[in-house]
Amino acid sequence: MTTVDVPHSSRSAVLRVSAVIQETADSCSLVFDVPAELRERFTYQPGQFLTLRIPSDLTGSVARCYSLASSPHTDDAPKVTVKRTADGYASNWVCDNVKAGDTLEVLPPSGVFTPKNLDEDLLLFAAGSGITPVMSILKSALARGNSRVVLVYANRDHDNVIFADELRELADKNPQRLVVVHWLEQLQGLPTADALATLTRPYTEFSAFMCGPKPFMDRVHDALAQLGVPRNRTHAEVFNSLSGDPFADVARAEISAEEAADAASVEVELDGETHEMNWPRSQTLVDIMLAKGLDVPYSCLEGECGSCACTVLEGTVEMENAEILDPEDIANGYILGCQARPVTDHLKIQF
């Protein structure tokens, strides 16, 4: 029995696992029971993820991000899906140990891998457990939008297809709106950029969303580039293992008078409201927003999850770690709030 009674930070919560669903031989889904007093905090958008605190005998705990496979528009409770990875401590621990009735410590939903408009036509790519956030988007679009949806889903073989029955049912119920293309490595080999481009050539006007191992997503990027799909209509979800502890409360750094005098100024648009703040050059954007009591989106604070991604409208920042962003993202003004420090004296930033 895995039991957590008290959360380790003011941001996290303890949730009961109401069900564990065996999806394939090496993947399972956890369904969480969210009590009424936490439902507002755990409201989520299609494609977002939860961060789970996994106990460890060596380090006390590790933090891992798992995408929500459920849809806020069709499912009563949030559900994450976990697939075992070779030598993956957390994924194997979850699949081996978590049972219905257990409790886990969880951070509220986060992430920006979500369509701004469920009425836009969607071209979805997934490989392996990358289907998880893509499934959330797919179900949401079918339930609340009127768009067409095309899914290209790659796996080693039929036995590794997560949500196979659910995808078949959705395709049967929505024959005019949903096309599901399965790519099985056992039969077809690894998908190439040329093959993916050929498959998806009729859908170049759609907005593309992709999730899966990096080699797969590299080939998808190449395929879309061949087809001339603009970068602003291409969205990728990338997860890295978190080395820090996002469950720890963030300590507020003291600012010297000299540093305060040299601070930049910033206008931040968050949830439709604009906030004007001083921005000391040694602090990150997330630091100063937390100090002001703003509900800034963040999770890992390491530049590894993308939860705090935002756009610089005016000014320049420097970032210590921005590897999760593509060069095209940075060229288009995207930054990570947890890594950004001001260079210019005045900035405008939009979440």
Task: In whole angstroms, give the CA distance from residue 219 to residue 238.
Answer: 15
What mean pLDDT do residues 145-169 have? 97
- pLDDT for residue 243: 66
Structure-token pair, residue 169: 């049912």
In 3D, which of 307, 301, 255, 231 has the Cα closest to residue 49?
Answer: 307
The DSSP code sequence of 93-159 is HHHHH--TT-EEEEEEEE-S-S-S-TTS-EEEEEEGGGHHHHHHHHHHHHHH----EEEEEEESSGG
Radius of gyration of the chain (CA): 21
**Would you say 94 and 28 are in contact if contact means Cβ atoms under 8 Å apart?**
yes
| Per-residue model confidence as pLDDT tens digits over 37-60 | 999 999 999 999 999 999 988 778
Structure-token pair, residue 141: 């679009």
Q: What CATH number was assigned to the domain covering residues 122-237? A: 3.40.50.80
- pLDDT for residue 273: 93
**Would you say 246 and 256 are in contact if contact means Cβ atoms under 8 Å apart?**
no
Structure-token pair, residue 278: 């001083």
| 319: amino acid identity, one letter | M
- pLDDT for residue 279: 96
Mean residue pLDDT across the chain: 93
**Would you say 227 and 200 are in contact if contact means Cβ atoms under 8 Å apart?**
yes
Structure-token pair, residue 161: 């297809």
Q: Break the chain into its structural domains and give their ranges.
A: 13-110, 122-237, 257-350
Q: What CATH number was assigned to the domain covering residues 13-110? A: 2.40.30.10
Give the CA distances from residue 70 to residues 106, 205, 214, 238, 293, in Å, rounded to whole numbers and listed in that order. Answer: 16, 27, 24, 19, 30
| Per-residue model confidence as pLDDT tens digits over 176-221 | 999 999 999 999 999 999 999 999 999 999 999 999 999 999 999 9
Q: 252-265 in b/e burial notation, b at 16+ Cβ within 10 A?
A: eeebeeeeeeebbe
Residue 77 half-sphere exposure, CB side, CA atoms within 13 Å?
Answer: 16
The DSSP code sequence of 302-351 is SSSS-TTEEEEEES-EEES--TTS-HHHHHTTEEETTTEEE-SSEEEEE-
3-state secondary structure of 21: strand
Strand (E) or helix (H) holding 199: helix 193-200
Q: Sorting pLDDT into bands at 50, 70 and 90, what band is 27? A: very high
CATH topology for 257-350? Answer: Ubiquitin-like (UB roll) (3.10.20)
Question: Lowest-confidence range among 8-12, 70-74, 104-108?
Answer: 8-12
Is pLDDT of 225 > 90? yes
